[in-house]
């Protein structure tokens, strides 16, 4: 296994520890969760850079790198919705997670048909915003202790949800030919 793929696997392995520290809920545990999330974000940045520069792009990396991103990002938003002091309702989180599942499944199906669909600018922007919002919410929860009373986390999640849904719709519209071809192949193969 090459270094970029090892970084991707490391990011996946960080996710349960991230969730655990958020569940503990103390300020110290949230600091640990923040450190883990920042480390995961850095591995996301570096695995792609290393893979492109060294020519170590693999099918495993094409599928697992975005999956690892979605895993820790969705874990963060789901955890936030479950934490009473965050003031984040479940419905925008459900929309964020649903978009991520749908697009990840579509990418997997495209790869199965030997088609690679690169991330769009909106998708890259969405991921960056999701990461920044998660870091801001974690910092707010650390600075305010266990009581995040202001509405900022709520509005940040709403903004993230809107951007996430928009990028998902754009992704589907821009790649509809690939997905229609996949559906046709599945229908013809059955």
Q: Positive or negative, the Cα torsion across 87, 155, 70, 107? A: positive
Please name which of 43, 78, 79, 80 lies closest in space to residue 64, comparing C-alpha atoms. Answer: 43
- Read off the tokens for 130: 């999701």
Give residue-wise pLDDT tens across range 32-75: 999 999 999 998 888 878 888 888 877 777 778 888 889 999 99
Q: What's residue 146's pLDDT? A: 45
| Residues in the chain where the model's pLDDT stays below 70 | 113-118, 145-149, 178-179, 181-190
**Could you write out the three-class secondary structure of the chain?**
CCHHHHHHHHHHHHHHHHHHHHHHCCHHHHHHHHHHHHHHHHHHHHHHHHHHHHCCCCHHHHHHHHHHHHHHHHHHHHHHHHCHHHCCCHHHHHHHHHHHHHHHHHHHHHHHCCCCCCCCHHHHHHHHHHHHHHHHHHHHHHHCCCCCCCCHHHHHHHHHHHHHHHHHHHHHHHCHHHHHHHHHHHHHHC
153 CA to centre of own chain: 17
What pLDDT is recorded for position 176? 78
In this structure, are residues 148 and 87 in contact, taking their beta carbons and an 8 Å threshold?
yes
Domains in the chain, please, with CATH?
Answer: 3-189 (1.20.120.1760)
CA angle, corner 58, sides to 57 and 61, nearest 5? 95
Half-sphere exposure of 93 (CA within 13 A, CB side): 20
Nearest CA among 15, 186, 14 for reference residue 106: 186
């Amino acid at each position: 296994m090459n270094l970029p793929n090892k970084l991707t696997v490391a990011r996946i392995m960080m996710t349960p520890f991230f969730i655990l520290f958020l569940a503990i809920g103390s300020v110290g545990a949230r600091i640990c969760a923040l450190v883990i999330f920042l480390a995961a974000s850095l591995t996301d940045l570096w695995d792609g850079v290393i893979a492109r520069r060294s020519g170590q792009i693999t099918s495993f990396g094409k599928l697992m790198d975005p999956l690892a991103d979605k895993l820790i990002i969705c874990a963060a938003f789901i955890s936030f919705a479950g934490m009473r002091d965050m003031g984040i309702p479940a419905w925008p989180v459900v929309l964020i997670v649903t978009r991520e599942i749908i697009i990840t499944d579509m990418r997997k199906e495209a790869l199965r048909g030997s088609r690679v669909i690169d991330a769009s600018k909106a998708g890259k922007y969405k991921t960056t915003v999701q990461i920044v919002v998660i870091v801001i919410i974690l910092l707010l929860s650390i600075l305010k202790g266990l009581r995040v009373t202001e509405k900022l986390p709520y509005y940040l999640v709403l903004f993230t949800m809107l951007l996430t849904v928009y990028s998902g719709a754009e992704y589907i519209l821009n790649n509809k030919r690939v997905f229609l071809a996949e559906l046709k192949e599945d229908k013809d193969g059955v």
